Amino acid sequence: MAKSFNNLLKKMPPDRRAKIASRTQKLLAELPLQEIRHARQLSQEEVARILQVKQAAVSKMERRTDLYISTLRKHIKAMGGDLILLAEFPEGRYQINSLGGLESEETSSR
């Protein structure tokens, strides 16, 4: 008989469960556009309709490795999200609010 994953998870030590949860969150945070769209339960056709483009344009956009920030922002907005740009340095992270300036992530979260 197969064991349910939830039962196996309950038997794991708390530190192991924490590591699994952390890794899961990291993987979810690094999803490509196509995976984000799937997670949002949207089809390429739905996103295309919102963006007022053809489905083929959405497909092409999802396969590209280099996009204009404005294009990516529109795509994310069409899926119901907001694009947040962060610059990460050894001394800290900075949220880019506009391409004309930087704001510390600590300052922007207030």
Instruction: Write the pLDDT tens digit of every residue in 35-80.
Output: 889 888 999 999 999 999 999 999 998 888 788 888 999 999 999 9
Contact 103, 85 (CB under 8 A): no
* 100, two tokens: 């004309």
Range of the domain at 97: 83-110
Contact 109, 100 (CB under 8 A): no
Give helix 69-78 / helix 55-63 axis angle, nearest 10°: 120
Instruction: Write the pLDDT tens digit of every residue in 25-46.
Output: 777 666 788 888 988 899 999 9
Query: Are 41 and 87 members of one domain?
Result: no
Query: Are 38 and 91 members of one domain?
Result: no
Residue 34 lies in a domain: yes
Query: Are 64 and 19 members of one domain?
Result: yes
Least Cα distance to 74 among 54, 94, 58, 55 occurs for: 58
